[in-house]
């Protein structure tokens, strides 16, 4: 009986793997066409600066609407794009589009005497090993009429597994230009406190998985509290990711977290909605926002 069950299970696994392999092949084919066919777009998620009640940063997030399929999340297609060697071109599109959009916003807000928030762009490990990254970023800023103070680059810790020296050299070049650097998803995966001293980060983003339980007394709260204190002691500012409830926002405020990002403040927004939010910003306070 055990043998039969095992055989059935093996067959089931094989079928599931075949289906997965077919899905993957389809995904690859479609991803190759996505750039040419203009299927990518960006949304922007504002971050609330707790001390001022203003939006000083916003994160650009990539969206892919695949014809006949619908939206496919970046968590699914970015790793595939990396494997296929497409991340360089996709990443360049993201950088140029994010800068172009923020340049447009900057001129619009300037007419009302308002500054434009800094835009944070996610950059993949593969891109940091590309010698063309720094000149590409410079030209994206220049073409959009933006200075380096308008850009922040977010990277995840997996970067340091490959070629730490080259990654570090690129990061230092970007920072020397005046672009800020953020370490993303801190507290997951390969996090190590030694990265914080080895790499020149201006900002630490605490992963959503740690923020989820912050309003409960206990270990979750203690860990976030310690990370914020450590980041501040090292001269970094802190963004909490995935803040969904007012209780979490209050807990983060009490811990002197600098900025909060999450559905509890704002979902990622299309440019038109972002523009509206920023124009209404003087009246914009955390407590007045509900979960979208
Ligand atoms: P990330 O950089 O950590 O971005 C934050 C993710 O959390 C986003 O998911 C955002 O929509 C989501 N999020 C924000 N607030 C909340 C919340 O309150 N609750 C929950 N449940 N989720 C929240 P998204 O847009 O699906 O992106 C997923 C990941 O894909 C990003 O994580 C980033 O690692 C990657 N990614 C997105 N855009 C790009 C890009 O242009 N380039 C690269 N290399 N990676 C990207
Ligand atoms: Mg990010
Ligand atoms: Mg993150
Ligand atoms: Mg993430």
Q: Is the pLDDT of residue 283 over 60?
A: no
| Mean pLDDT, range 193-221, rounded to an integer | 88
**The complex's ipTM?**
0.98
Cβ(205)–Cβ(224) below 8 Å: no
Q: How far apart are the first and last CA of the chain?
A: 53
Grade residue 20 by pLDDT with cuts at 50, 70 and 90. confident
- The closest ligand to the CA of 73 turns out to be 1
Tell me how far the alpha carbon of residue 156 lies from the centroid of ligand 4, in angstroms.
8
Tell me how far the alpha carbon of residue 156 lies from the centroid of ligand 3, in angstroms.
8
What are the tens digits of pLDDT across the range 62-84?
Answer: 999 999 889 999 999 999 999 99
Matching residue, tokens 């043998």: 3
> Which of 22-38 are b and which e, b meaning 16 or more Cβ less than 10 Å from the residue's Cβ?
eeeeebeebbeebbeee
Burial of 106 (0-12, 13-18, 19+ CB in 10 A): buried
Position 58 scores a pLDDT of 97
Position 282 scores a pLDDT of 53
Q: How far is CA 192 from CA 103, 157, 160, 255, in A?
A: 36, 8, 10, 22
For ligand 1, what atom is nearest to the CA of residue 87? 44
SS3 72: strand
Tell me how far the alpha carbon of residue 85 lies from the centroid of ligand 4, in angstroms.
21
Q: Where are the beta strands (DSSP E) in 70-202?
A: 70-72, 118-122, 151-156, 180-186
What are the tens digits of pLDDT across the range 250-282?
Answer: 999 999 999 999 999 999 999 999 999 999 865
| Mean pLDDT, range 153-161, rounded to an integer | 79
User: Which of 281, 290, 285 lies closest to 262, judged by CA?
Assistant: 290
Grade residue 15 by pLDDT with cuts at 50, 70 and 90. confident
């Amino acid at each position: 009986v055990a043998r039969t069950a095992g055989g059935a299970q093996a067959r089931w696994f094989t079928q599931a793997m075949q289906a997965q392999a077919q899905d993957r092949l389809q995904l690859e084919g479609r991803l190759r066409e996505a750039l040419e066919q203009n299927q990518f777009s960006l949304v922007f998620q504002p971050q609330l600066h707790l001390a001022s009640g203003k939006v000083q940063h916003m994160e650009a997030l990539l969206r892919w609407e695949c014809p006949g399929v619908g939206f496919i999340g970046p968590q699914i297609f970015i790793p595939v794009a990396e494997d296929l060697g497409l991340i360089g071109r996709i990443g360049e599109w993201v950088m140029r589009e994010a800068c172009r959009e923020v340049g447009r916003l900057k001129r619009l807000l300037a007419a009302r005497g308002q500054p434009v928030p800094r835009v944070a762009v996610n950059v993949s490990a593969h891109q940091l090993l590309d010698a063309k990254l720094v000149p590409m970023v410079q030209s994206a800023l220049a073409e959009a009429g933006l200075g380096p103070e308008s850009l922040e680059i977010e990277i995840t810790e997996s970067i340091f597994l490959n070629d730490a020296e080259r990654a570090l050299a690129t990061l230092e070049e970007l920072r020397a230009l005046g672009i800020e650097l953020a370490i993303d998803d801190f507290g997951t995966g390969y996090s190590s406190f030694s990265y914080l001293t080895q790499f020149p980060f201006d900002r630490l983003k605490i992963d959503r998985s740690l923020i989820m339980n912050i309003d409960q007394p206990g270990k979750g709260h203690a860990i976030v509290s310690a990370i914020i204190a450590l980041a501040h002691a090292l001269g970094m500012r802190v963004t909490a990711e995935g803040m969904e409830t007012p209780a979490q926002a209050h807990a983060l405020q009490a811990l002197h977290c600098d900025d909060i990002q999450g559905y509890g403040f704002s979902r990622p927004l299309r440019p038109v909605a972002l523009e509206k939010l920023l124009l209404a910003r003087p009246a914009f306070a955390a407590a007045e926002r509900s979960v979208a």
